[in-house]
A and B are shown apart, each in its own frame.
Chain A
């Protein structure tokens, strides 16, 4: 039982990470029906933004409480600016093009962002700059310390922080979308862009807002990913992005609550598959395979997702 609980807990942590990224997919999709295939790369850029803030901001001796907010700032600055630039210069001109065009553009952006980080990420080597993060870069493990024991739960501090941060971000997002003027404008745009425009909503601005919010959450996910695993590489975005997309579809793409549910569901499925799949099919080597199997099953059998949302035109 305890073993099961610890697996479940691992799944929940993973799920929180997926959910944070999935929210970005879902918000953009909800408003302009675009699968921002490069969103995983936004997450990766966020992680590297945090790393850059740490290594170049001389945060090495400071306490965690000083370093983390500054790193978060760096992560968000990187993610948000990349998201805004791609929206403005790559996606916006294609808004009326056949659907294939933005998808291929997104693949291009994805490759481009990976390569930019791989070739040009400035590494602080002490007295000089080395360009290019060709191999995985060490990420400061700022949240160390003893594991927390809360009743039956035995959890590392990083994992606990991740869950708390994810939940806070999600609650913040829900409050923003439901309570703020801009958030309600987003909902209106998602429901009917033409009418929203007639009501005086600046639809372009709302679309940018969706990209920005998604990028901010991805930045949070990026920094937490770095803290949890202790390193970041330019490839982390591809698989993470695909899994987060799975999570978004799983919950019903376009549905904010769905992305959260889908994220946790996928995380738990993955953790369980690794442990409980029989024989050689278990284990880490197959974990991505199971995530893809879930992706395919959901897309094929229940494209409207677990919670459902209007996607009649999709499947």
Chain B
């Protein structure tokens, strides 16, 4: 939003939040170029082009495309059975073909309702926004999936020769389907306000959570990377279609009304996860690491999401906790020969990190915005370099320098050895389940801290500081003390996570705490939706779990990470599940425009601030 726009719409600045940052950002160079800002985006241009070309035939084109796609799924896409799923059989769709079939048939059914009057009214009642947006999502899903599979076949089997006509037909069908679907009207999705009896709504929440568990477990079960990638694309477009249909905003509305139930259900589902894995440690290990990451991301979410302090050195707090945990673990490489009981170590880790938080926080807090980010980055790097240097030659011998502290034993906790398989309700679970469960408890604690402080006087003061520090100070908010407290609270939570991490990864080295890790954490928060619980947890899971499964990306993971950051900031800076406030902030000009046209502002789908 630029200066000129601000002046034009001063009246609605109450509903649209201006952060102190965005106020600063209204640097005048922005307005100098604003006349270009309202150009059509390329998708709008594409739509206009398609409507001009197809006219009223759009619906028919979409149907033809969808039918072609259905036919394509009945044909073989490749002629060797070497591709992970057997895509060589006539009239027997498998794997990705099934996904495409599901999309195409659902799309066809929805398209049909547009032309069958009694159904049209019924569907209109269920989907007040029409089927256009949903069909668009489904058709694009068909196209992307087919294209991806063709690419995978080419890559896996070596060359385009391995693609059979069925594959090409599917791509073509998807393309025609998409082209037709784009000419359908797609209304903006707004939140559905309908209410059902409480019992039904709670059941909806439970079902939604179980579906989530099912999707995750099913995804983890897929071993072949091509199949997994196809699965991810399928789930992604399924989610997109559900969003366009309004289902997502409805479910999140329901979940919002029964917040306690939802959170309980979510943790229950997370608790159930190890039981789906049997004695296998493979994904328990992965998920235990994901959980640590999620805990740290939630802690950082307090600092960034609530108090608005962009901390780029947050990983250092995890590092402090990890080093405390490692030094007090009884590892033979530890330079301290004291092994206190675990709860003491946990508190020591939290305390040390909090202390470090004060040391870093007090000077950093004097700066704002970008400068704060860079000061914290500097502190983070100083921490890493110092841990590297306390090796006996360039400093006292505390941390073994770059070699770190390996051989950290498993946790022992009231006679509960974390290195042994866990017996629970007659199920034998791999020993990583121990870590998984204790981390789940920690995560629940961190989420509780987040939610409670968000709804408290302190939390409101943080938000006030985030939105406009000067105004907050003028209203009597002790900005300095509150900002330091956000820093220290975030730090101590990361410190606790660090102690667990030391035992989980059995070795602690300086390279685990480099700047890139902080960038990952910030990315998880931004990707998911800053200041939200669900969003950040989702962001953390996506960012840590996907790379684990997509091993074929191998050393290209960072490349994709960098690209993803740029693309997200460009197209959806508010994250997957935005808080209402942030979405408003990032789409000020669209909201302004809507208001100018006398419409109500399009509320972002779902999510709670």
Please give the residue numbers on chain A whose beta carbons come within 8 Å of chain B beta carbons, in ascending order: 31-33, 35, 90, 92-105, 107-116, 118-119, 189, 192-194, 196-197, 203-204, 207, 238, 242, 245, 249, 280-281, 283, 285-286, 288-289, 292-293, 295-296, 299-300, 303, 313-315
Q: A111-B561, A192-B28 are in contact. Are A90 and B570 (CB under 8 A)?
A: yes
Contact A101 B556 (CB under 8 A): no
Stretch at the interface among B32-40, B108-116, B450-458, B597-605: B32-40
List the count of A-B residue pairs having beta carbons below 8 Å apart.
Answer: 187
CB distance from A200 to the nearest CB of B (A): 12
A119 to B381, CA, bound (A): 25
Chain B residues with CB below 8 A from A314, complex form: 24, 368-371
Contact A204 B33 (CB under 8 A): yes
A31 to B28, CA, bound (A): 9
Contact B559 A299 (CB under 8 A): no
**B571 nearest CB neighbor, chain A only:** A93
**B4 nearest CB neighbor, chain A only:** A194
Contact B368 A194 (CB under 8 A): no
Stretch at the interface among B251-259, B359-367, B486-494: B359-367
Chain A residues with CB below 8 A from B19, complex form: 98
The contact of B29 among A111, A189, A285, A315, by CB within 8 Å, is A189
Q: Sorted from nearest, which 3 A-B pairs have the closest CB atoms?
A: A108-B565, A112-B562, A111-B562
A194 to B26, CA, bound (A): 12
How many residues of chain B have a CB within 8 Å of chain A? 66
Contact B378 A296 (CB under 8 A): yes
The contact of A104 among B382, B396, B559, B569, by CB within 8 Å, is B569
* 8 A Cβ contacts from B314-354 to A: none
Chain A residues with CB below 8 A from B447, complex form: none
CB distance from A91 to the nearest CB of B (A): 10
16 A-B Cβ contacts within 8 A?
A33-B25, A95-B29, A98-B21, A98-B22, A100-B310, A103-B310, A107-B519, A107-B522, A112-B563, A193-B32, A203-B29, A203-B32, A204-B33, A285-B395, A292-B378, A299-B378
Q: A99-B25, A203-B32, A303-B371 are in contact. Are A292 and B382 (CB under 8 A)?
A: yes
CB distance from B154 to the nearest CB of A (A): 20
CB distance from B190 to the nearest CB of A (A): 24
B407 contacts chain A at the CB level, 8 A cutoff: no
Interface of B is mostly: helix
**A288 nearest CB neighbor, chain B only:** B385
Task: Among A97, A100, A116, find the residue whose CB has the most chain B CB atoms closer than 10 A.
Answer: A100
Stretch at the interface among B144-152, B203-211, B386-394, B410-418: B386-394
Q: A103-B373, A300-B364, A315-B371 are in contact. Are A286 and B31 (CB under 8 A)?
A: no
B47 contacts chain A at the CB level, 8 A cutoff: no
**B1 nearest CB neighbor, chain A only:** A96
Chain A residues with CB below 8 A from B30, complex form: 32, 95-96
Q: Mark B1-36, 1 if CB is under 8 A from A, else 0.
A: 111000000000000000101101111111111101
**B26 nearest CB neighbor, chain A only:** A96
Contact B559 A115 (CB under 8 A): yes
Chain A residues with CB below 8 A from B34, complex form: 96
B523 contacts chain A at the CB level, 8 A cutoff: yes
**A312 nearest CB neighbor, chain B only:** B24
Chain A residues with CB below 8 A from B374, complex form: 35, 242, 245, 295, 299
**A132 nearest CB neighbor, chain B only:** B555
Contact A104 B526 (CB under 8 A): yes
A113 to B565, CA, bound (A): 13
The contact of A288 among B381, B394, B570, by CB within 8 Å, is B381
B377 contacts chain A at the CB level, 8 A cutoff: yes
**B24 nearest CB neighbor, chain A only:** A313
Contact A96 B369 (CB under 8 A): no
Contact B566 A299 (CB under 8 A): no
CB distance from A36 to the nearest CB of B (A): 11
CB distance from B554 to the nearest CB of A (A): 10
Q: A95-B33, A203-B33, A207-B29 are in contact. Are A115 and B369 (CB under 8 A)?
A: no
Q: A90-B570, A98-B585, A203-B33 are in contact. Are A194 and B21 (CB under 8 A)?
A: no
